[in-house]
């Protein structure tokens, strides 16, 4: 199932037209930009047109995974994904705002909220996301979007040789108060 087109005031979120000669140069540029991927596990991979085409193609035949290109005025500026666990009615989300000139202007938040709303409207009861604790931009996006920090996995990542915690966030369709037993 192909991801549906979603629109906001400033953005178009859509699945790119997949074909062997498609232009994935913007994706390659973002994924190979160490400033863009500094907190992502993508920083360990050298991305090519072939690897990106294969990655995008993997979404074409999946009913439980969604990919949206984030487009502003006809220019792709990033991407957002959702992997659905249908039996549990949960979705794991991720985002990459690749065009650095668009950082800090609310585009990631706008795309994130739009996809979150779409997933809740489609019956998901909970959304999840994780990130490196040092990724302040992602932490701020999650918290601004109403996601609650549910867990910390100490020292999960290595960033420039230093241990970094992994933080896991969740948001229920209906707000819930989670109490942990000590």
For the chain, give every domain's residue range: 6-127
Burial class (CB in 10 A: 0-12, 13-18, 19+), 43: middle
If you search the block for the tokens 């009861």, which residue do you land on?
A: 125
Coil/strand/helix, residue 73? coil
pLDDT classification of 60: cutoffs 50, 70, 90 = confident
- What is the per-residue pLDDT across 143-154, written as a single tens digit (0 to 9) for each? 999 999 999 999
Classify residue 104 as left (phi > 0), alpha (psi -120 to 50) or beta. left
- DSSP β-ladder status, 126-132 and 75-85: unpaired
More confident: 154 or 49:
154
Q: Which two tokens stand for residue 111?
A: 């795309």
Give the per-residue pLDDT at 95.
98
The predicted model scores a pTM of 0.90
Give residue-wise pLDDT tens across range 16-26. Answer: 877 777 888 89
The pLDDT of residue 135 is above 70: yes
**3-state DSSP assignment of residue 169:** strand
- β-pairing, 126-132 vs 90-97, is parallel
Please list, in sequence order, all residues whose beta carbon lies within 8 angstroms of the beta carbon of residue 169, skipping any fewer than 6 positions away.
128, 129, 130, 131, 142, 143, 147, 148, 149, 150
Whole-number pLDDT of residue 177: 53
pLDDT at 182 over 50: no
Which CATH number among 3.50.30.30, 3.40.50.300, 3.30.70.330, 3.40.630.30 corresponds to the domain 6-127?
A: 3.40.630.30
pLDDT digits (tens, 9 = 90+) for 99-109: 999 999 999 99
């Amino acid at each position: 199932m192909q991801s549906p087109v979603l629109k906001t005031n400033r953005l178009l979120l859509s699945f790119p037209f997949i074909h062997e000669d498609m232009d994935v140069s913007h994706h390659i540029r973002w994924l190979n930009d160490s400033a863009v991927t500094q907190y992502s596990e993508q920083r360990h991979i050298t991305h090519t047109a072939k690897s990106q085409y294969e990655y995008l193609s993997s979404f074409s035949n999946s009913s439980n995974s969604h990919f949206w290109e984030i487009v502003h005025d006809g220019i792709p500026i990033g991407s957002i994904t959702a992997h659905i666990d249908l039996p549990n009615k949960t979705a794991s989300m991720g985002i990459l705002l690749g065009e650095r000139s668009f950082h800090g202007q609310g585009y990631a938040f706008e795309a994130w909220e739009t996809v979150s709303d779409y997933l809740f409207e489609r019956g998901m009861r909970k959304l999840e996301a994780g990130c490196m604790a040092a990724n302040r931009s992602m932490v701020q996006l999650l918290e601004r979007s109403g996601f609650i920090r549910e867990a910390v996995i100490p020292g999960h990542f290595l960033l420039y040789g230093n241990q970094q915690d992994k933080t896991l966030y969740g948001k229920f369709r209906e707000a819930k108060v989670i109490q942990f037993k000590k």
